[in-house]
Structure 1
Amino acid sequence: MSNWTHIVGHQWAVEMLANGLVNDRLGHAYLITGPEQVGKTTLARTFAQALNCEASEPERPCGHCRPCKLIAIDRHPDVKLITPELSGRGKLTLKIETIRQLQQDLNLSAYEARYKVAILERFDAATVGAANAFLKTLEEPPGKVVLLLTATDADMLLPTIASRCRTLNLRPLPTDLIEQSLATRWQVPAEKAMLLAHLADGRLGWAIQAAEDETILQTRTEQITHLHDALAGRRVQRFALADKLARQPDTLPNLLKTWLSWWRDLTLLNQRQGQSISLMLTNMDEIERLEPLATAWSEQQITASLNQTNLALWQLERNANTRLVLENLLLVYPFPKLV
C-alpha cells in the first residue's frame, strides 16, 4: 500500500483498487466520480501504473520503472488519456470520432504493457452518440483492457454506462488534510496553505494549482474587490459595474461562484452569531469585513443576496441577457446606509 501514498486521502478507494489487483479480482471498467480537481485522474493514473508496474507485489506501483515513469507523464503507448475538447461557448465535448479511434486502438495488441488502459476524463461531456458507441466496448471489452472513466456525477451518465462500471465516488477532502499536505509536500508557507485549504472546497488539485499559479489568487482578489465596490456603491455605481462586468462574459461564472462563497460565509456568521465558527469559513482572509456585516444586515437581506447570486449563475448558464442578470443581482444586494 505504501507506494500509493502520494495520493492524498481517498484511502478506501486506494484499498479497493490495490486489493483487487493483489487478489486478481479486477473489473474491466471503473467509474471514478467526484468534484472537479478532487483527485479522480490522479487515482486513475496511479491505478494504471499499478496494473503495469514491473516491480513485484506489494511494491506496485513503484514509480521508478519505465512503465510507471511513462504513465506518469501520459506517454505510455498502451495507456491512453482521453480528454474532451472545447467546443462552442467554451463547452467541453467528447465526440464520437474520438471514441471510435480509441476503440480501434484498444482492439490492437499491446506494445509492451500487461494491460491496455484507457482513462476517459469527464465522460459526462460525451455526446449521446459517443456514449452509445462506447457502450459496445463496455459490454464486450477486449481482453487485458481496463477502462477508467471519470465524471463529476454518475447520474449525469447514461444508466447503461454507469451500470457496467464499478463506481468509486470520491468525496471532498477535509480542510485540515489539504492544509497539512500543502505545507509538508508542496512546501507552501503556513498562512498561504491555510487560506488555500479553505478556498479549495475539498479539492486538493485546485489548491496545488493555486499554490503554483499566482494569477489564480490574483483573480480572486479582483473578484472580491468588485463585490466590495458593488456593496459600497449606490444605484448608479452598480449599474456602471454591471456594464463593465457584462463586457467580460467568460469571467462571470467564476466571479459569481466566488461571490456565492462570500455570501455563504456571511450566512454562516449571521446564523451562528456568538459561536466560534471562523475555521468553517471559506474566505478566511475576509473575516474582518464579514463579521460586522453579519450583524449589520438582516438574515433576510443576506439570504436574498445568496439566493439571487445562485439564480444569476443559473440564468447565465441558460444564456440570459448578461447585463440584465447582473443589474438585477446588484439591485438585490444591500445598499450602504446613508450617513
Structure 2
Amino acid sequence: MPASVPTADQWGPHADSLAGRTLVAMFEAQRLPHALLIAGPVGVGKRDLAVRIAQALLCDQPEQPGRGPCRTCRACLRLFDPAQPNLDPQHTDVEIISAGSLCAESDHDHRNSRTIGICVIRRIEHVATLTPFEASQRVMIINPADALTADAADAFLKTLEEPPESVYFILLTGQAEQLSETIRSRCRTLTLAPLPEDRLERWLERWTSETGLELPTDPQQRAELRRLARGRPGWLQANLRDGDPVSLRSAQIDDAIRIANASRAERFEWAEQIAGRSTNAQSIDNLQLILNAWSDWWRDLWLQQTNQGDSIVHVSQRDRVERIAALYDQGATSRFLEKIHGTRAFIERGITHGLNARLALDVLLLSIPPPRESS
C-alpha cells in the first residue's frame, strides 16, 4: 500500500517535514516506539506534536493507519479543543509532567521548582504500572526532559528500557545535548526545525481559522509577527492564545527605551518590580521574556547602524528604530547586546544553580550605554 500523505489538519505544522513523514510511517507500520524524544528549539511546536501523537493513539474514530487523529471525536477534543485553545489536555490517560508536577511524597512542594526530581519519577513509574482508566493506552509527556535531575534520569532508565505495553513516553527537549546519552539511546528521536516563512504563514491561516483567534490586519504588524516567531509555530500558538504579541512587544520596547533614559535609582526601582529578590519560577520566566525583547530591540538598532535595516524584527516601528539607532555609537550598541546575551545565559544557568537573577539584572542596567553627545 502506498505511504499516506501527512496532512497538516491531522499532524500539524510539521506534517511535511522529515519528522512528520517518519511519524506517519511508524503509525502505518504500527511500530510506534514506546519512548519518543521530540527535539527542537523552544517554541518550534514540540508540545503540539506530542498532543497530536496522543490523539492518534487514543482517537475514538481513527482513520486508516498513518492518517492521524480525527481531531473531532470526544477523546481528541479532550486533548485539544479548538474552541478552548488555552485548556491543557483533560484526558485521564494523558499526563504532562513538568517541573512542579506532583510527586510520590505528600509533603513535597514543587511549585517553584525548575527541575523534575526522582520523587516525581517514582510517581510516574507507579502510574505506568496501572491499567489505563478509559483508553487502551496511556501517554505520558515529559516537558522538558532536560529538566530531569541526574538522579531522576538514572531512575527513569529502567522504565524506558522496559516500558509497560500500554504506556507511551514522549520526552520533549530544546536542549538534547543536556540529556544523558543513555536516555537518548533509549528513545527514537524526532527533530523539529523552524518552518520556512511561506509554510508558517499557510499553517497560521489554517490554525487561526480553526481556533477563531485573530491575526493583525495591518501588513507591517503581520510581518512583524512572522519575524518575532522566527519560524516557530509553537511560539505563535502560545502567544496568540495569550493575546496580541505585537502590542505586548511594543510595550516591552517602550520600557526598554524608558529605562535607557532613566536615572540609576529609577532603573533599580524597575528591577525590583520585575525581578524582586525571589527565585520564583514565574518571575524568572517573565524576566527572560523581557530580556528576549531587549535583545531583539538592541539588535534592530545594531542592524540599522550597520546598513542592514531590511532585516530588523520590529518592522512596524521602523521609524523609531531609525531615530534611536542614530543616537548611539555602533560599538556601544554591539557591546551592550553582548551583555544582554550574557545576562540571559547567566540567568538560565541560575535556574539550576541558585544564582541571583536580580543581581545580574542590576549589573546589566548599569551597563546601558549613554547616547552620543550632540556635536
What TM-score range do you get, normalising by the shorter chain? 0.7 to 0.9
The answer to whether residue 59 in structure 2 is matched with residue 24 in structure 1 is: no
Residues 192-233 of structure 1 deviation map (CA, whole Å, 9 limit, x = unaligned): 4332222223332332333343375554333211222244x3
CA contact (8 A) 2:259 2:267 kept: no
**Amino acid of the structure 1 residue aligned with 2:272:** R
1:15 CA drift (Å): 1.2
The answer to whether residue 43 in structure 2 is matched with residue 37 in structure 1 is: yes
Tell me which of 216, 238, 246 is aligned to 2:263.
238
1:253 CA drift (Å): 2.7
Give the corresponding residue for 1:261: 296
Tell me which of 89, 98, 102 is aligned to 1:74.
89
Tell me which of 153, 178, 186 is aligned to 1:156.
178
Q: How far apart in 1 are the matches of 2:75 and 2:202?
A: 30
Report the TM-score, using the length of structure 1 for normalisation: 0.84
Give the corresponding residue for 1:312: 343
CA contact (8 A) 1:34 1:170 kept: yes
**Amino acid of the structure 2 residue aligned with 1:39:** G
Q: How far apart in 2 are the matches of 1:143 and 1:88?
A: 30
Tell me which of 143, 152, 155 is aligned to 2:165.
143
User: Identity of aligned pairs, percent?
Assistant: 32
Q: How far apart in 2 are the matches of 1:2 and 1:321?
A: 44
Name the CA shift for 1:97/1:265 in 2 (closer, same or farther; >3 Å).
Answer: same
Give the 3-state SS of the residue equivalent to 2:263 in structure 1: helix
Question: What is the root-mean-square deviation in Å for CA atoms of aligned residues?
Answer: 2.9
Give the 3-state SS of the residue equivalent to 1:261 in structure 2: helix
1:209-224 alignment runs, 5 A limit: 209-214=238-243, 217-224=246-253
Name the CA shift for 1:112/1:183 in 2 (closer, same or farther; >3 Å).
Answer: closer
Q: How far apart in 1 are the matches of 2:192 and 2:6?
A: 20
Give the corresponding residue for 1:197: 226
Give the corresponding residue for 1:120: 142
Q: How far apart in 2 are the matches of 1:77 and 1:255?
A: 36
1:90 CA drift (Å): 4.5
Name the CA shift for 1:257/1:48 in 2 (closer, same or farther; >3 Å).
Answer: same
Q: How far apart in 1 are the matches of 2:207 and 2:361?
A: 43
The answer to whether residue 373 in structure 2 is matched with residue 337 in structure 1 is: yes
Give the 3-state SS of the residue equivalent to 1:242 in structure 2: helix
Higher alpha-carbon deviation: 325-334 or 136-145: 325-334
Tell me which of 2, 5, 8 is aligned to 2:9.
5
The answer to whether residue 128 in structure 2 is matched with residue 99 in structure 1 is: no
The answer to whether residue 334 in structure 2 is matched with residue 303 in structure 1 is: yes
Consecutive unaligned residues in structure 2, runs of 5 or more: 81-87, 102-108, 209-213, 276-282
**Amino acid of the structure 2 residue aligned with 1:262:** W
1:57 CA drift (Å): 0.8
Q: How far apart in 2 are the matches of 1:82 and 1:178?
A: 28
Give the 3-state SS of the residue equivalent to 1:247 in structure 2: helix
Tell me which of 310, 313, 338 is aligned to 1:282.
313
Q: How far apart in 1 are the matches of 2:340 and 2:79?
A: 42
Give the corresponding residue for 1:270: 305
Q: How far apart in 1 are the matches of 2:37 and 2:327?
A: 47
Q: How far apart in 2 are the matches of 1:263 and 1:121?
A: 31
Give the 3-state SS of the residue equivalent to 1:308 in structure 2: helix
1:316 CA drift (Å): 4.4
Consecutive unaligned residues in structure 1, runs of 5 or more: none
Give the corresponding residue for 1:57: 64
Name the CA shift for 1:332/1:75 in 2 (closer, same or farther; >3 Å).
Answer: closer
1:84 CA drift (Å): 2.2
Give the corresponding residue for 2:280: none
1:302 CA drift (Å): 2.0
Higher alpha-carbon deviation: 76-85 or 175-184: 175-184
Residues 114-145 of structure 1 deviation map (CA, whole Å, 9 limit, x = unaligned): 43322112111122222222111011111243
CA contact (8 A) 2:35 2:187 kept: yes
Name the CA shift for 1:114/1:298 in 2 (closer, same or farther; >3 Å).
Answer: same
Structure with more of its chain in helix, by fraction: 1
Q: How far apart in 1 are the matches of 2:53 and 2:216?
A: 31
- The number of residue pairs the alignment matches comes to 331
